[in-house]
Homo-oligomer: A and B are copies of this chain.
């Protein structure tokens, strides 16, 4: 891989060109945009060689910075994760993850089938020592100074016990440090009320476990938070199980989508409102930019030997470029190793505590 060798100051990202709703053209347009802005990124691009060569040849700024790795197969949105795990070897998704596994790239990015990507990442990258359940973390528009909160798990696993929720806290804290540049993130545990006696038994147990680690792991534990705090300024990291997190994520996205549609409808209503919408165009664009899911594009898989960024299936060039930006930042900060160290030291600590307790 001469053209993408790890020159000083350059970071190699592994990109799945296939499986997104808009096909490889949107992916190539997205990485081209990132390449233009950031001279330190190089790409390994996975998919059908001929098609990708044609697309890349059209982008001057990708010349010499993008190596294509041929893969014939494509994982579709309808493919079952279990099948992809067993028979997915010739696919672009498999090849994308494999490049991180063997160290050719630092972080993988794919717009494809989430379940299949998670399953493949699990079997190929394997879980970090000390991690029971990996998690998917997303950025959520919020009232925080940094404009985003981190929420996890949003759907890697529908179950989570108290110890899993503790690990999610530690992984979320590490992500907040490296992805949002927060020194001492505030962690909240999602529940149906903020009183300590409320909620499910595993949440009360998790409350105590997380609280006990806060000082050692240098984060602030704000205790239980509610659904309304997810877009709020109470916590930077919102911890929950993958069932609840997935429902919350999609409810929030759906509600934002409904409001956006109704807003457009309202502005089309009369000549006066259409004029108003013209005058308000920059204001509305500013708002859209702030909450546009394409700009916070990228769920991150945490808890594996390697970092995988899952971009929205519907990502266009802007969306892909946002996912690449996030992947670059995580690669640059050495996130994977820092996260591994964080989880391992917590596991040690816990092991010590348990031993001393017997």
Contacts and interface: CB of A to CB of B under 8 A. Distances in A.
A356 interface: no
A114 to B, nearest CB: 10
Given A283-B276, A286-B269, A226 B252 contact: no
23 contacts: A158-B192, A192-B242, A199-B243, A200-B243, A226-B247, A227-B247, A227-B252, A228-B251, A228-B253, A228-B257, A232-B258, A247-B247, A248-B248, A252-B252, A258-B291, A259-B287, A265-B287, A266-B284, A266-B287, A270-B282, A273-B280, A276-B279, A280-B280
Task: Tell which of A192, A249, A278, A286 has the most Cβ of chain B within 10 Å.
Answer: A192
A267 B232 CA distance: 21
A229 B243 contact: no
Contact of A283 (B227, B257, B267): B267
A297 interface: no
A282 B291 contact: no
Copies of this polypeptide in the complex: 2
Interface residues of A, number: 57
A144 B269 CA distance: 19
Interface string A234-254: 000000101110111111111
Most buried by B among A226, A230, A255, A275: A255
Contacts of A141: 258
Nearest to A82: B197
